[in-house]
A and B are shown apart, each in its own frame.
Chain A
Amino acid sequence: MDLILVNIIDGLVTGLLLFMLSAGLTLIFSMMGVLNFAHASFYMLGAYFAYQISIALGFWMGLLLAPLIVGVLGAGVERYGLRRVHQYGHVPELIFTFGLALLIEELVQFIWGKNQMAYFVPDALNFSAFAIAGNSIPAYKIFMIFISIAIFIGLLYILTRTRVGMIIQAALSYPRTVEALGHNVPLIFMGVFGVGTALAGVAGVIAGPVLGTFPGMAFVLGSIVFVTIVIGGLGSLWGALVASLLIGWITTFAKSYNIEMADILNGIGIGTPENLDESLFRDFWTITSPQIADILPYILMVLILIFRPSGLFGKRHS
């Protein structure tokens, strides 16, 4: 029971972190109809910028400044890159963001090298908040949870309760009409792109000390983020939240409980073959859940796409 609680907290942290990335990605998708492959790269940039700033000005200034810089960079990418490629169609746009992701990774290696950066949890948060049956929960995890929830509530408030949010929502669905009403739609798009990438930057700043700041960090998280928004339904903010939490919990639980495939198969009445070592399916029989924890999201995505192609909360089927 106690372990379940610890895992729930761990899964929540992972899920909310995923959500900060997928929220921006799904907003950008519903806006431009294009998946931003470089989204996780902005997350990585956030971590690296925060590291660089934290050397000079400390962690908190990093938390404040790094997302701003990332957001400005993201807006620049939209204005000078994506808008230019947009005229060629969706596929080149996707390819452009893919190339950008490659380029950012190379750029980060160029500037900071290939090693992990010495970017750590600030001293103010480096203590154990409380303990559940001997498992101490670091205060930093609680801090991550609060930041993510605060951002989610803020985002929800802006999108649904303010005038700006109304205009954004309208521009997502009917860009031409909104333009005809006198709003600067390209500017809105640029803004949303900037805010989306800045959110990814925030995620990078707070995840960097925990998950490590290294050139592969975008790659590690990148494809999981796509899986998340596909499972949640492309363009749905709620779907992104539910899918993020789902993936966070599934992977955490799969890693902490060692369930073996042989036990499951025996449980449903299939006997273990006698000479397992020579069987073609020997690897299938010896699979354990921690082993496949990282590919569970992909399996989930393929299943979702087969049985419910629009995702859990998706409305339109593009």
Chain B
Amino acid sequence: MTDQITTDPTKPSERMRAGSMTLSLGPWIVAAVLLAVLPFIFTNNSSITIMNQMWITVIFALAYNMLLGQGGMLSFGHAVYAGVGGFACMHIMNASDFFAALPLPVLPVFGGLFGMGLAMIVGSFSTRSAGTVFAMISLGVGELIAACSVIIVAFFGGEEGVSGDRTYARPFFGTEFLQQIEVYYLISAWVLIAAALMYLWSRTPVGRMANAVRDNPERAEFLGYSARWVRFYSFVASGFFAGIAGGLFAINYEILTEENLNTTSSGVILLVTFLGGVGFFFGPIIGAIAFTLLQTVLSLQTELWAFYAGTLFVATVMFFPGGLAGLMMMHVPVFKLGKARLLILPYLKTLLPALIGILGLSALVEMVFHVRHAAYGDDEMTLFWTTFNSHDILPWVVALGVTAIALGITRANAPALRDAWNEANTAGGSA
């Protein structure tokens, strides 16, 4: 297993994780204030929609990381638990008598319970072993349920899915959740609750044992713990929180379809979690925020956003298996040594050209795409606020030149950055 996934008490950044069951209030208060204030900063409707999407993804990614990061179980079908929870919530919404007596904020609990129920059934046979076998079962079960969604129309609604109306719920302190902003605060409250519960779960003996079983199942067995049952508990808990995410999805979008269950959604949540970093609790949060932003911003700009996301994902796995959170936490020792400012200049010298180089590369990619796929006679394209003819030679020369020079500078400055990094990570010396 990797440095990033294993708890190493000699590293200050990871020693924090092995604390007691106390919840230091600081970060949570900051998060709560941020959640409350954000809609006042980004007031327009589309950004509230994006934030709703983001927080739902946060819960789902955190639930997923209970398996992947904390339990070492790689699931390729986790969207199923969120999806089934969501579908269950949709049906509750449509059961008018019951729903009219139920305040809407409680609804995700039912989604969680359904996700948990399904996880208990599947987990009873899938958690016997971790690793490849678990991954295969999760994929098979995921495909199975996703395929069932077209067949079992009574529950999954077939091709068109199930839709409902959240406003039929019993008014919650006078709120009927007609507006997006009211839903935003509902989701925000749930994010806080779910994240805090998941954090506390990781501090319970079961949560700690999940780490032990992940790192060395045999040793955990010798200590008297059943690796299988520890995995089972993590799996069920993860199913519960995934179901909550599904319930929130149902409240926010008021429709669920086969898309919420299929392998693509499961793949996306794996991507989000890994991008954020599986080694730290807050990793998936960063991943969800970064990915949702990337998705919404990039998909407005280019048709190729999935291609960039895939490239980013593969690059992350190959070069930064710790993800964004791992990259951040790498810098903690530097700050502790008080040598962070040694890094500023080398970073600027390397990362700025690297950024320009990557933008140049993506410009080349876009131009190739345009030349190959644009309608015949449509030679004009707009890139980085410039409109030009993609069949001319000049734009190609410019893009190639900029890319080559920028990447050349990056390459030339990389050794200096490495030296600076080593210097900054060495205690003592001239700071």
- The chain A residues found within 8 Å of chain B, CB to CB, are 29, 33-35, 81, 84-85, 88-92, 94-96, 98-100, 102-103, 105-107, 109-111, 113, 219, 223, 226-227, 230, 234, 280-284, 287, 291-292, 294-295, 298-299, 301-302, 305-306, 309, 317-318
Contacts and interface: CB of A to CB of B under 8 A. Distances in A.
A113 B307 CA distance: 13
25 contacts: A34-B132, A88-B4, A89-B1, A90-B131, A91-B72, A91-B131, A92-B317, A92-B321, A100-B314, A103-B311, A105-B310, A106-B306, A106-B307, A110-B365, A110-B369, A223-B143, A283-B153, A283-B154, A291-B151, A294-B147, A295-B148, A298-B147, A302-B141, A305-B133, A306-B125
Nearest to B365: A110
Nearest to B319: A84
A281 B151 CA distance: 12
B144 A302 contact: yes
B299 to A, nearest CB: 13
A294 to B, nearest CB: 6
B2 interface: yes
A95 B317 contact: yes
B140 A110 contact: no
A226 B314 CA distance: 21
Contact of B140 (A113, A287, A305): A305
B76 interface: yes
Contacts of A33: 132
B151 to A, nearest CB: 6
Contacts of B274: 95
B132 A110 contact: no
Contact of A99 (B68, B135, B313, B369): B313
Interface centre among B74, B267, B317, B321 (most CB of A within 10 A): B317
B11 interface: no
Contact of A91 (B68, B153, B154, B271): B68
Of listed B132, B151, B274, B365, residue having the most chain A CB within 10 A? B132
Contacts of B314: 81, 96, 99-100, 103
Q: Which 7 A-B pairs have the closest CB atoms?
A: A103-B310, A106-B307, A298-B144, A295-B147, A99-B314, A88-B2, A102-B310
Contacts of A219: 263
B318 interface: yes
A102 B76 CA distance: 13
Contacts of A317: 129
Given A92-B317, A302-B141, 13 more contacts: A34-B132, A88-B4, A89-B2, A96-B318, A99-B310, A102-B267, A102-B310, A105-B310, A113-B372, A226-B136, A295-B143, A302-B137, A318-B131
Contacts of A85: 317-318, 321
A291 B271 CA distance: 32
B152 interface: yes
A302 B321 contact: no
Given A98-B270, A113-B373, A282-B154, A35 B136 contact: yes
Interface of B: 1-2, 4-5, 68, 72, 74, 76, 125-126, 128-129, 131-133, 135-137, 139-141, 143-144, 147-148, 151-154, 263, 267, 270-271, 274, 304, 306-307, 310-311, 313-314, 317-318, 321, 365, 369, 372-373
Instruction: Name the residue in A98, A105, A292, A318 with the highest tally of chain B Cβ atoms < 10 Å from its Cβ.
Output: A98
A141 to B, nearest CB: 27
A318 B267 CA distance: 24
Contacts of B304: 106, 110
Contacts of B129: 309, 317-318
A318 B128 contact: no
Nearest to B150: A291
A318 B133 contact: yes
Given A99-B313, A103-B314, A295-B144, A94 B321 contact: no
A106 to B, nearest CB: 4
Contact of A230 (B2, B140, B306, B321): B140
B151 A94 contact: no
A81 B314 CA distance: 9
B143 A298 contact: yes
A107 B309 CA distance: 12
Given A96-B317, A309-B128, A107 B140 contact: no
Nearest to B3: A88
Contacts of A89: 1-2, 5
Contact of B318 (A29, A81, A107, A234): A81
